Chains A and B, each alone.
Chain A
Amino acid sequence: QSVLTQPPSVSAAPGQKVTISCSGSSSSIGINFVSWYQQLPGTAPRLLIYDNNKRPSGIPDRFSGSKSGTSATLGITGLQTGDEADYYCGTWDSGLSAGVFGGGTKLTVL
Chain B
Amino acid sequence: EVQLLESGGGLVQPGGSRRLSCAASGFTFISYAMTWVRQAPGKGLEWVSAISGGGGISTYYAESVRGRFTISRDNSDNILYLQMNSLRAEDTAIYYCAKKGSNWAYDFWGQGILVTVSS
User: Restricting to A17-48, which residues have a CB under 8 Å from any CB of B?
Assistant: 32-33, 35, 37, 39, 44-47
A103-B104 in contact (CB<8A): no
By DSSP majority rule, is chain A's interface helix, strand, loop, or mixed?
strand
B107-A47 in contact (CB<8A): yes
B105-A35 in contact (CB<8A): yes
A53–B111 CA distance with the chains assembled, in angstroms: 26
Q: Chain B interface residue count: which class?
A: 20 to 34
Q: How many residues of A contact B (CB 8 A)?
A: 28
Top 7 A-B residue pairs of the complex, sorted by shortest distance between their CB atoms = A50-B105, A99-B47, A35-B105, A104-B44, A33-B103, A44-B109, A92-B104
Contacts A33-B102, A99-B35 aside, 8 further interface pairs with beta carbons under 8 A come to A37-B106, A47-B107, A47-B108, A50-B107, A90-B104, A99-B62, A100-B47, A101-B47
Query: Given that A35-B106, A90-B106, A99-B50 are known contacts, is A45 also in contact with B45, CB under 8 Å in the complex?
Result: yes
Write the residues of chain A forming the contact surface with B, with a CB cutoff of 8 angstroms.
Answer: 2, 32-33, 35, 37, 39, 44-47, 50-51, 54, 56, 86, 88, 90-92, 96-104
